[in-house]
Amino acid sequence: MYFSRLFAPTLREVPGEAEVVSHQLLLRAAMIRRAAAGIYTYLPLGWRVLEKIMRIVREEMDRAGGQELLLPIVQPAELWQATGRWDVYGPEMFRLQDRHGRPFCLGPTHEEIITALVRAEVKSYRQLPLLLYQIQNKYRDERRPRFGLLRGREFIMKDLYSFDRDEEGMRASYARMYEAYSRIFTRLGLAFRIVEADPGAIGGGLSQEFMVTAATGEASVVFCEACGYAADVDQAPCRPQALPREEPKPLEEVATPEVRTVEEVAAYLGVPQWRILKTLFYRADGRLLGIVLRGDRRLNEAKLQRFLGCLSLEMADDAAVAAATGSPPGFVGPVGLEDVVFYADAEVAQVTNAVAGANREDHHLINVNPGRDFPLRLADLRAAEEGDPCPRCGAPLSTAQGIEVGQIFQLGTKYSGALGATYLDEQGRERPIVMGCYGIGISRTMAAAVEQHHDAAGIIWPAPIAPYHAVVIPVNPQEGRQWEVAVQLYRQLGAAGIEVVLDDRPERAGVKFADADLIGFPWRVTVGKKVSTQGVVDVRRRGTPEEVSLAVEATAAFLREQLAAQGIETGSRTHNHDGDSFSCR
């Protein structure tokens, strides 16, 4: 491909809309453009990256025994009503009606529709196991679409569904997918961690997530160096930590003028933060409730939602809190509010003579004793943190940030039961099909790769997913010999099956180098003055500072070898219609 013909409108400036580096670089490197919040066009370079990710995913799904199909995006409400998820999905689901007023949705996921398909077509144990997958757009009207492709409202997902005769079969399918996912993310050139996960709205039993490690990741994970335990912070159970106990003293109100936050109260009263009872108010399916935690701990909302089993959960606004407590925020607490149900994190039971808001402006209570001064309803609600004891072995946990690129679930009979998907076993008995489901965020994976692999100049694509393998840059295309050799190299590389762009633009060399770094071609071949004097060109691998000088004739073989070392087989070339050599992808 000649650069002058490539539809790659790169940007010098960082677009104001983009907060995280992958979003900035994908826009600047002409991979994507925004159409609406969380909805993107994939430009030719970006689409090539996605195609390569999808190709690797397909190869591994097929290797594991999967068969590809394509399910509809527009799905009838009835199926979702049958499993109860028409309500569970709430405002995240894009809903629409046809001209007859019949309700539909745009698929946020496809368990319902595929289970209905299998219910209709699978009758006998002889047809099982079955692994079916698709790669397709998903629609989720996320509360906060942001970070470009990391959290979109329309995004590309690979989803596979496994159908087995029994639990043992499901576990075998799950193990195959675990293995396939590990191979996929390794082949994509990404560093990742596999962690225990919260099944969330998908439901079922065991679930694990594949997290690409990146400091900017939205997901928090905890892991144990000692025993290998690793979990999403939404899933990791916390053991209550014991605290020194005191003889309970009588409850007392003290003035705390303008002293609101845990830090301020601790400093003002001279007590450790853990002795303060932090009180939060939430609405769960519309109902107001209070949460009490140690002042130095953070609530984990996923744990709270799981514990309550509610469909919607959001923080209550200040007006609702004031109406329930008679106090502005900063001075609220669980004592004396008989009308509000409070749940406390398990550790709250350990705190004696605590401090809490008095539900009166500028006042706190001291010597609050949970159980004595307010009823204790305990649950594990706090987020695990660095240094907490590992739930498996007790060694101190470490924490890291990550980007969830894939999740696998053992569903059991959750969907087959609700939709009546059964088969007849060898004895002719009717049994429910046992299922699993397995997702990979294809478009999110592209952004995760950029989060993990970039520098100040641009993207450093792992070679297996780079839009092209190499760019050839004639420093001065007006100089006859440089242009000649550049075209000759472009042809030779193309003939060797290397995907190559020739930067033929009448731009300064600096502009071409900057674009090459921004787009992130793994290899850059510079044809400059030395080609006339010494017959050599300069070859540089993106992300490394050193250039090697190579004889023109040796360049194609060198690059083929380098690419082969990164697991890329360069096939034979084909020609595109205008006669430019163009390798087969």
Among 110, 140, 382, 524, binds ligand ATP (CB under 6 A): 140
Report, in Å, the least distance between residue 73 CB and ligand ATP: 15
Distance separating alpha carbons of residues 223 and 212, to the nearest angstrom: 14
H/E element, 345: strand 341-345
Buried b (16+ CB within 10 A) or exposed e, 472-511: bbbbebebeebbebbbebbbbbbebbbbbbbbbbebeeee
From residue 231, give the alpha-carbon distance in Å to each of 4, 228, 297, 367, 387.
48, 10, 18, 36, 14
Please tell me whether residue 169 binds ligand ATP under the rule CB under 6 A: no
Which partner in ligand ATP, Mg ion, none is near 444 (CB below 5 to 8 A by kind)?
ligand ATP
Please tell me whether residue 212 binds ligand ATP under the rule CB under 6 A: no
Q: Dihedrals φ, ψ of 26, to 5°?
A: -65, -35
Buried b (16+ CB within 10 A) or exposed e, 248-283: eeebeeeebeebbebeebbebeebebbbbbbbbbbb
Question: Among 19-27, 356-364, 382-390, 436-444, which window interacts with ligand ATP (CB under 6 A)?
Answer: 436-444
Report, in Å, the least distance between residue 75 CB and Mg ion: 20
Question: Among 149-157, 263-271, 360-368, 563-571, which window interacts with ligand ATP (CB under 6 A)?
Answer: 149-157
Which partner in ligand ATP, Mg ion, none is near 140 (CB below 5 to 8 A by kind)?
ligand ATP
Total site size for ligand ATP, rule CB under 6 A: 17
Q: Contact 269/364 with Cβ under 8 angstroms?
A: yes
Please tell me whether residue 23 binds ligand ATP under the rule CB under 6 A: no
- Give the SS3 label for residue 94: coil
Among 405, 465, 473, 475, binds ligand ATP (CB under 6 A): 405
Report, in Å, the least distance between residue 406 CB and Mg ion: 8
Question: Among 98-106, 441-449, 457-465, 497-505, which window interacts with ligand ATP (CB under 6 A)?
Answer: 441-449
Six-digit token pair at 260? 């609101």
Which partner in ligand ATP, Mg ion, none is near 364 (CB below 5 to 8 A by kind)?
none
Please tell me whether residue 441 binds ligand ATP under the rule CB under 6 A: yes
Pick 148 or 295: Cβ nearer ligand ATP: 148
- Give the SS3 label for residue 403: strand
Report, in Å, the least distance between residue 538 CB and ligand ATP: 39
Report, in Å, the least distance between residue 404 CB and Mg ion: 5
Distance separating alpha carbons of residues 560 and 569, to the nearest angstrom: 8
Pick 327 or 443: Cβ nearer ligand ATP: 443
Pick 197 or 354: Cβ nearer ligand ATP: 197
Pick 300 or 407: Cβ nearer Mg ion: 407
Six-digit token pair at 336? 């004396």
Amino acid at 35: A
Among 151, 382, 512, 573, binds ligand ATP (CB under 6 A): 151
Q: What residues have CB less than 8 Å from 578, skipping those under 6 apart? A: none
State which of positions 391-410 bind Mg ion (CB under 5 A): 407
State which of positions 450-479 bind ligand ATP (CB under 6 A): none
Residue bearing tokens 């969907």: 415
Q: What residues have CB less than 8 Å from 378, skipping those under 6 apart? A: 343, 344, 345, 346, 348, 349
Interface characters, 88-127, with ligand ATP (x: CB under 6 A): ---------------------x------------------
Distance separating alpha carbons of residues 388 and 335, to the nearest angstrom: 29
Q: Contact 347/241 with Cβ under 8 angstroms?
A: yes
Q: Contact 209/444 with Cβ under 8 angstroms?
A: no
Question: Among 249-257, 307-315, 354-362, 404-412, which window interacts with ligand ATP (CB under 6 A)?
Answer: 404-412
Pick 373 or 404: Cβ nearer Mg ion: 404
Which partner in Mg ion, ligand ATP, none is near 151 (CB below 5 to 8 A by kind)?
ligand ATP
Among 414, 444, 454, 524, binds ligand ATP (CB under 6 A): 444
Report, in Å, the least distance between residue 417 CB and ligand ATP: 20
Sheet containing strand 341-345, strands side by side: 313-315, 277-284, 287-294, 341-345, 378-379
Q: What residues have CB less than 8 Å from 309, skipping those under 6 apart? A: none
Please tell me whether residue 438 binds ligand ATP under the rule CB under 6 A: no
Which partner in ligand ATP, Mg ion, none is near 405 (CB below 5 to 8 A by kind)?
ligand ATP
Q: List residues binding ligand ATP (CB under 6 A).
A: 109, 140, 142, 151-152, 155, 157, 200, 202, 404-407, 439, 441, 443-444
Q: List residues binding Mg ion (CB under 5 A).
A: 407
